[in-house]
Structure 1
Amino acid sequence: MNWLNLATLTAVVVVFVALSLLRRRGVNFSVLTLIALVAGVPVGIVGADHVAWVEPIGRIYINVLLAAVAPLIAVAIISSIISLGDLAKLRRIGSRSAFWLLLSNALGVVIALGVGLAAGTGKGVDEQLGGQELNVLENSVQDFTQVVVSFFPTNVVGDFSANKIIPIILVSVTLAIAYLALLKENPAVRPFGNGIEALKLVVFKAVGYVLGLTPYAIVALTTTVVAGTDDLGEKFTSLLGLLALTWLTCFVHTFGVNAVLLRVFADVSPLAFFRKFLPAQVTAFTTQSSVGTLPVTTDLLTRRIGVHSEVAHFTAPLGTTIGMPGCAGIWPVLIAVWGINAYGLDYGVTDWIVLAVLGVLVSVGTAGVPGVATVAAVTVLAAAGLPLEFVAVTLPISTIADMARTTTNVTAAGVSATIVARQVGLLDDDVAQDPHAGIDPDQIPGRRRADQPVADAPHSTPPVTPTVASTVAAPDVELV
């Protein structure tokens, strides 16, 4: 019996009990997640190397979330496109979603390049090439043409089991388009649409139960991360500045750039958006997985921010594999700047421009799972002709950096979805401006649901049909 591991697990269980008591007393779900995040820090510090029995709890939660991703994306996209009833709307939403996601990453690349060069990160380190083992990193290099080929499914079952988002999206879109094309000629396919709607209700309800476990999982995840990072200050002093710069750049993009985008292009209050979107940011911060956070992201977009489900369930999943400014833009560029300065390499203006362009292109097909930033960085640096040793040296701080990177990724996807919803007329201002949004719309007379179809005519009122906006979360879970 390892008594130290048992003691750490016991401390985590005590926090679980405290969270459960607070939850029964009606404490706000966002407050619970923040309490869980803070509580995990001292447990991780004291537990140090004795978290072997705690670490599986966090992994189980992430695995369960990941297991829900493929069916969630498939039924949400098929249902959303079917509800559109018009392929022209699909073209409008799809093109706008890709544009804003890529623009978000491009802005992250530019900010990272500017901040990194202005701060002179890496200068004075005087590292020498040839001191790192690179075999594993060399195996992580992705040829861009192969990335494009991998967009198209070869085994639907395999793609679903591996959570390959782009193939899942393509299959779902194809099925939905086929359904719409057949519906007018052959009404016999209508049961397919009804079945998808029923399946969506069941899947979203099941996901809601999983989301209710988020605060408890955050305790375990935070404990594990903190316990594994106690020696960074001694061994990697030269990298602490890079880590701080990464967090700063991600913070600027998450709250600065997105605030401007929300105000200018979506006419939404940034403060209101960030307050309502906080649970998704906290989940992203602790799970370090954009895909794992997706159920929380789409839930908040529809229930709290007023983004129509047609947009939320298309743009947000797309944002887990396109854009990704934290992992595919900010991190590779900052590593490149740090490495070029640390190793004293000559780099001209043209080289920096090529690096920036590569940072944007590589974001297409980047999977929103923990550790993907390393793959993205290796691919960018290899394509730019830079030594992979830059990435190898920075691996020890990557996990801590991933907290901020993932938060930036998820926020960018949420903001992009909000902007797209505004542009196509599918943003409910009543919900967006309501501080109590998220309560079952049936309990609020006169409230139009976030998922209710928006009429083409400005003063027409379409009939309200049953939706899943209020069934995403479990009955006792209020994501606020």
Structure 2
Amino acid sequence: MSSSTTAPPAESAVEKPRRRLRLPSFSTQIVLGLVFGVLLGWLALSMGPAADGEENWLTVTLSTIGGSFITLLKAIVPPLVFTAIVASIANLRKVTNAARLAGQTLLWFAITALISVAVGIGLGLLFQPGNDSSLSTDAAAEPSSQGSWLDFLNGLIPGNYLGLDAGTSLETGADGVVTGAETSISFNVLQIVVIALVVGIAALKSGKAAEPFVEFNRSALAVIQKVLWWVIRLAPLGTLGLIGRAIATYGWDLLQPLATFAVAIYVGLAIVLFVVYPIVLRSNGLKISSYFKGAWPAIQLAFVSRSSIGTLPVTERVVERNLGVPREYASFAVPLAATTKMDGCASIYPAISAIFVAQIFGIDLSITDYILIAFVSVVGSAATAGLTGALVMLTLTLSTLGLPLAGVGLLIAIDPILDMGRTAVNVAGQALVPTVVAKREGILDLEQYDSVNTEDLFADDEPEVEGASDGADGTDGIAGTSEDRELEPAR
């Protein structure tokens, strides 16, 4: 009897799997963008201006790359905020603690702001930045715009259903004759939040008649999120352009006479970020390392972009996916925080700046003045909600104290340098408060919080299984959970 054996196939006949080029992790890409941005920024700085006195080609290129990335992010914010909040409200139809969540959110906004402004006042008195400055008041100049207590009403009431603002600037020639006009369109996030809340509540009250609209809104949200994460993948390139532009163009030479002031600001920002926030986390039973690991992508992008609104989509994502905050709550709390929760711009900076302006103009501040600084920092960020820039809060603080607004002109030169740190702390606080409130209300996913995987943050959402309910696998986006789901305490 003969036995036949099958010869193994030749090695060459076996099809070897193709190796895919493995790119570095997204966090590594961001760091590489930061490093190369610094190098290119210093190179652009060393090249000096072009022959005609304008910025050289490398500086213009870096500015274009960074500016285009922020423009793309900001363009996606209005539809994202609107659809996310409307879907969130539709999902909260059975939730009885929605009002309590909103109240707790505002309370913690105020608590952390009060602590931050106390840090700012303490450092202002310790560093005495105005007394140590060599600046002369001759360089002082009043700002073109300033904050007002009426800004809250102006920012809260929508001028149109899209929350858009149009502004026109006139171009004049050397002889003062108007040669043209340029109209720019911007959006007010606070107004969009108000519009979305009204529409969402109306849809909730309309019952079955609004179901087609709610389903359309969910579909639109899914599409918007897909586009958003295509934009987010450009973040390493945007980081390169933004940090490169910063180094190439900011007023580093003007930093020396304001060195004490700048150091006081950054020390205050560091104390809030790395001392105050960890104490708040620990006192609420949350791991400090998990928070920073989860929130770091948003904090990092905020530092280089200098825009809380531009970072808003990433902030909302980290709060949900990394920190374990339910998306029904996060889609409301994070956009609200992006307009009213600014511990860097609205607390630390105006406190130290007010002390600086008072000292450089030789004005003594009383205990009442320091109490007013604290009051403006806690309440003023809501009064100026929807308006961007720390200078708005600074002018509101100075005008409330009766200090010369001309002092703002002394600080504008190095404002971009300070703005990077301020925005990072702003965004860190915007991620902190929803996390703390969710933990205190028992709705935080502690397992998700303690097992942060930052790479999952930027992974493409898996396609939904036909017939499966929204949110069954947690991969459907910001607010696409089943409409019948309740916010229940985490087990």
State the TM-score, normalizing by the size of structure 1: 0.82
1:194 aligns with 2:243: no
Matched, 1:145 2:116: no
Q: Are the structure 2 counterparts of residues 413 and 435 from structure 1 closer, same or farther at C-alpha, using a change threshold of 3 Å?
A: closer
Q: CA deviation at 1:260?
A: 1.2
Q: Contact 1:71/1:203 (CA < 8 Å) preserved in 2?
A: yes
Equivalent residues in 2 for 1:6-17, closer than 5 Å = none
Separation (CA, whole Å) in 1 of partners of 2:210 and 2:148: 41
Q: How many residues align?
A: 422
Q: Per-residue CA shift, 1:259-293, capped at 9, x if unaligned?
A: 1111212x221111101211111110011000100
The offset of 1:424, in angstroms, is: 2.7
The corresponding residue for 1:378 is 395
2:260 to 238, 241, 246: 241
Aligned partner of 2:205 in structure 1 is 181
SS of aligned partner of 1:150: helix
Q: How does 1:338-349 map to 2 (within 5 A)?
A: 338-349=356-367
Residues 1:132 and 2:140 are matched in the alignment: yes
Residues 155-192 of structure 1 show CA distances to partners (whole Å, capped at 9, x for unaligned) of: 12243863312211111111111122221xxx222111
Pairing 1:353–2:353 present: no
Give the one of 159, 162, 165 matched to 2:189.
Answer: 165
CA contact (8 A) 1:205 1:471 kept: no
| Offset at residue 24 of structure 1 (A) | 4.9
1:318-467 counterparts in 2 under 5 A?
318-366=336-384, 372-436=389-453, 439=456, 465-466=470-471
Structure 1 residue matching 2:475: 3-state secondary structure: coil
3-state SS in 2 of match to 1:54: helix
How far does residue 149 in structure 1 lie from its aligned partner after superposition? 3.4
The one-letter code sitting in structure 2 at the alignment partner of 1:297 is T
Per-residue deviation at 1:146?
A: 3.5
Cα distance in 2 for partners of 1:421, 1:303 equals 14
For 2:243 and 2:294, the matched residues in 1 are separated by: 22
Q: Which residue number corresponds to residue 34 of structure 1?
A: 31
Distance of 2:417 and 2:386 partners within structure 1: 16
1:92 aligns with 2:126: no
Structure 1: runs of 5 or more not aligned: 1-22, 444-448, 450-462, 474-480
1:225 aligns with 2:246: yes
Verify the 8 A CA contact 1:121 1:241 in the aligned structure 2.
Answer: yes
Q: Deviations over 1:183-215 (max 9, x none)?
A: 1xxx22211111111111111111111111001
Tell me, in whole angstroms, the C-alpha distance in 1 between the residues paired with 2:441 and 2:204: 20
Equivalent residue for 2:293? 275
Other-structure match for 2:17 = none
Q: CA deviation at 1:435?
A: 3.7
Which deviates further from its counterpart, 123-132 or 268-277? 123-132
Deviation for aligned residue 1:34: 1.8
**Aligned mates of 2:91, 2:455 — CA distance in 1:** 22
Structure 2 match to 1:304? 322
Deviation of the 1:427 alpha carbon: 0.9
SS in 2 for 1:88: coil
1:104-131 deviation line (CA, Å, top 9, x unaligned): 2222111100111112222143655454
More off after superposition, 70-79 vs 142-151: 142-151
2:176 matched residue in structure 1: none
3-state DSSP class of the match of 2:381?
coil
Mean Cα displacement is larger for which, 463-472 or 312-321?
Answer: 463-472
SS of residue paired to 1:364: helix
1:162 is paired with a residue whose SS is strand
Give 1:247 deviation, angstroms. Answer: 1.3
Contact between 2:315 and 2:427, CA under 8 Å: does it hold in 1?
Answer: yes
User: Aligned letter for 1:432?
Assistant: Y
- Contiguous gaps of at least 5 residues in structure 2: 1-19, 50-55, 166-184, 463-467, 479-491
CA offsets, 1:62-92, max 9 Å, x none? 1111111111111111111111113633212
Separation of aligned partners in 2, 1:62 and 1:158: 19
Between structure 1 and structure 2, the one with the greater Rg is: 2
Offset, 1:468: 9.1
% identical equivalent positions:
27
In the alignment, the residues of structure 1 paired with residue 40 and residue 456 of structure 2 have an alpha-carbon distance, to the nearest angstrom, of 34
8 Å CA contact 1:125–1:343 kept in 2: the answer is no
Q: Is the 8 A contact 1:55 1:220 kept in 2?
A: yes
Q: Secondary structure at the match of 2:131?
A: coil
Comparing 410-419 and 88-97, the one that deviates more: 88-97
| Contact 2:27–2:455 (CA under 8 A) maintained in structure 1 | no
Kept after mapping to 2: 8 A contact 1:69/1:163:
no
The two structures have a TM-score, normalised by structure 2, of 0.80
CA change 1:45–1:439 in 2 (3 A) is closer
RMSD, matched Cα: 2.5
Pick the aligned partner of 1:63 from 67, 71, 92.
71
The answer on whether the counterparts of 2:293 and 2:452 sit within 8 Å (CA) in structure 1 is no
User: What is the SS of the residue equivalent to 1:350?
Assistant: helix
CA distance in 2, matches of 1:467, 1:380: 48
Give the whole-Å Cα distance in 2 for the aligned partners of 1:127 and 1:435. Answer: 47
Residues 306 and 431, structure 1, Cα contact 8 Å, conserved in 2 = yes
